[in-house]
Amino acid sequence: MFASLWLLASMVVDVLTPKELTVYMIGVTIAPAIAILAVLYWKRVPKFDFAVAFATLWMVSWIVLVLISPKPLPLFVVVVAVAPLVIFGAVVNFLRWRRARLQSRSTRVSS
């Protein structure tokens, strides 16, 4: 499963980046992140921890891609790299806000 995801991610990133950055360079760059995620999945880490690891490894992979790219990458690459972190942060903060709101309601009702 993770080998298929690795190949798919390599091809998608290849389409989004300039031609100077080949699919082979991309594949080598994201392979360690996919391997780490596969081990975490195999070890059955909690979903929250897996999501944090995914977002962090995705960002690190894009940073390495920017470093090895022979040509500057377009600005939308920053959006693609930061998107999982922003989405994850928004979901975590929304769930925390919702949980706090429900707890405050239950304390008001019980008083």
- pLDDT digit string, tens, across residues 38-84: 999 999 999 989 988 998 998 899 889 888 888 888 887 788 888 88
pLDDT at 36 over 60: yes
Record the pTM. Answer: 0.75
In total, how many domains does the chain have? 1
Domain residues for 8? 2-110
- CA angle, corner 40, sides to 2 and 63, nearest 5? 75
Measured CA to CA, the distance from residue 62 to residue 77 in angstroms comes to 8
